[in-house]
């Protein structure tokens, strides 16, 4: 059906928002429908390259470094972080992941770094990006109830994500973005050193537990997560966002939580 009038700016913006487009990537709009947009555009002047503090082997340039360079740089940086505070500061300085430039802020972690249990999700969403804390939106409220089901709350649990910056429009992070961020979450797990690690959903499970099996097969099973210095008991369960969409799986998630509570004694 052809609309009988052009949409208003307000309707267009509402349409974009609904489709997940909620941030501008460039200062100037690009008309991708017009033929002219195919013509090469004048490149903006590169801003001066900032230098990283000597202690942090972090690639910093205006153009994102090649993924292999960024991954190597992330590994070298994360490995040397002696504490969570330094790791967070390193991430604030790290320019190897393009997601940083579209996110509002870094979403590092929430909860108690001395907790015996650590939950790891995929990547922050809109609310998390605004607040700078993981799992504060609707799925975060369900995660709070999952944590409460094992007799704990955020003061007795530690929560982070594999990716610490929100992908624009909540798109799935690319494998390269995941590999670039991986050394930082690995070091974060090593520094928190929980007794039980819980991976929430498929992406976090496959990335951290090095499996290609889907969540239907991996959930509820114990894995060994090797930090390099210690093996941590790890269990995969459903992501709370998935449970919001498919509430019938809550029964299985609650089974997983009972097993986790038992492991924590």
Under the binding rule (CB under 6 A), the answer on residue 111 touching ligand URA is no
122 in contact with ligand URA (CB under 6 A) = yes
Would you list the DSSP string of 235-249? EEE--HHHHHH-GGG
Q: Does 161 bind ligand URA (CB under 6 A)?
A: yes
Contact in structure between 184 and 108 (CB atoms under 8 Å): no
Please report how close the Cβ of residue 49 comes to ligand URA at its closest, in angstroms: 32
Give the binding range for ligand URA (CB under 6 A) out of 77-85, 121-129, 187-195, 221-229: 121-129
By CB under 6 A, is residue 168 in contact with ligand URA?
no
Instruction: Single out the segment in contact with ligand URA by CB under 6 A; choices: 97-105, 122-130, 188-196, 220-228.
Output: 122-130
Shortest distance (Å) from residue 203 CB to ligand URA: 8
Residue-wise DSSP of 160-192: EESS-SPPGGGPPPPHHHHHHHHHHHHHHHHHH
- Does position 202 interact with ligand URA (CB under 6 A)? The reply is no
Least Cβ distance, residue 256 to ligand URA (angstroms)? 17
x-marked contacts with ligand URA along 123-152 as a string, rule CB under 6 A? xxx--x-----xx---x-------------
CB of 167 to ligand URA, least distance (A): 11
Cα 154-159-162 angle, rounded to 5 deg? 170
Secondary structure element (H or E) that encloses residue 265, with its range: none
Give me the count of residues in the chain. Answer: 265
As measured in angstroms, the least distance from the Cβ of 171 to ligand URA is 13
Torsion of CA 183, 184, 185, 186, to 10 degrees: 40
Residues 235-264 that bind ligand URA (CB under 6 A): 241
Closest CB to ligand URA belongs to which residue? 121
3-class secondary structure per residue, 20-65: CCCCCCCCCCCCCCCHHHHCCCCCCCCCCCCCCCCCCCCCCCCCCC
Q: How many residues bind ligand URA (CB under 6 A)?
A: 11
Rounded (to 5) percent helix, strand, coil in the chain = 45, 10, 45
**Please, which residue, 73 or 207, has the CB nearer to ligand URA?**
207
| Other residues' Cβ atoms within 10 Å of the Cβ of residue 195 | 13
Contact residues: ligand URA, CB under 6 A: 121-125, 128, 134-135, 139, 161, 241
């Amino acid at each position: 059906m052809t609309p009988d009038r052009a949409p208003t700016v307000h309707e267009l913006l509402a349409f974009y928002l609904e489709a997940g487009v909620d941030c501008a990537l460039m200062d100037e709009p690009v008309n991708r429908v017009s033929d002219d947009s195919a013509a090469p555009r004048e490149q903006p002047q590169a801003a001066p390259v900032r230098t990283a503090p000597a202690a942090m082997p972090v690639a910093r340039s205006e153009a994102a470094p090649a993924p292999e360079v960024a991954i190597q740089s992330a590994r070298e940086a994360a490995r040397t972080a002696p504490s969570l505070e330094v790791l967070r500061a390193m991430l604030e300085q790290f320019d190897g992941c393009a997601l940083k430039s579209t996110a509002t802020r870094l979403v590092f972690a929430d909860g108690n770094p001395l907790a015996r249990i650590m939950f790891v999700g995929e990547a922050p969403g809109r609310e998390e990006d605004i607040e700078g804390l993981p799992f504060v939106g609707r799925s975060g409220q369900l995660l709070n109830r999952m944590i409460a089901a094992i007799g704990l709350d955020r003061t007795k649990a530690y929560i982070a994500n594999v990716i610490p910056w929100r992908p624009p429009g909540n798109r799935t992070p690319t494998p390269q973005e995941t590999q670039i961020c991986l050394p930082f979450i690995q070091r974060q797990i090593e520094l928190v050193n929980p007794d039980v690690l819980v991976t929430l959903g498929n992406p976090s499970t496959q990335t951290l537990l090095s499996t290609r099996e889907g969540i239907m097969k991996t959930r509820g099973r114990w894995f060994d997560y090797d930090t390099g210095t210690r093996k941590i008991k790890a269990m995969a369960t459903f992501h709370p966002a998935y449970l919001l969409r498919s509430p019938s799986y809550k029964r299985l998630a609650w089974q997983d939580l009972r097993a986790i509570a038992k492991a924590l004694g």
